Chains A and B, each alone.
Chain A
Amino acid sequence: GIQVEQSPPDLILQEGANSTLRCNFSDSVNNLQWFHQNPWGQLINLFYIPSGTKQNGRLSATTVATERYSLLYISSSQTTDSGVYFCAVVGSQGNLIFGKGTKLSVKP
């Protein structure tokens, strides 16, 4: 099955710093999503980005499908950005296959 690897596993930032999270996947995919899981467990959709580049405020994402990776950029980080960021791709049966996540801590 498809393997999804995320890096780094942990990231500590000072408020205002920028960061880049990476997601590598082992096979071609039709669907790639980025999520932010808040401390209460809610998975918040950030981007649906099978290919190309999208931006939403301080966040942007790029997926290079031919090279099997996606990047999530967070600029001017805030304490509310803390949490776990997951990358997920769709498997052959329609289920999302998640990476292990990047735990982000933003310090004031």
Chain B
Amino acid sequence: KAGVTQTPRYLIKTRGQQVTLSCSPISGHRSVSWYQQTPGQGLQFLFEYFSETQRNKGNFPGRFSGRQFSNSRSEMNVSTLELGDSALYLCASSLEFGNRGDTQYFGPGTRLTVL
């Protein structure tokens, strides 16, 4: 089976722009979670989607949003980019709803740099 794929792998944007990141989960996985990783903050949970519905959300401003499609692929959008949004954005998929504690499989991440 192919692993979790994320596109693009690298992205450079300027302040005020918006960006959309994409994640394709492992085939058969219905849960997709998004994380932001920065050197100072470590891994921070953004949100989790299951069957096209947002089930869990972390403490991020409304500029961060996401969605999941019927094929379980997920997109994350960040509007009005700020310098502090520069980070590695990781996507992880799992079989079922996250609260059952399924093992998560991580993608390689998208490295976003905001100038």
Answer yes or no: are A and B bound together in one complex. no
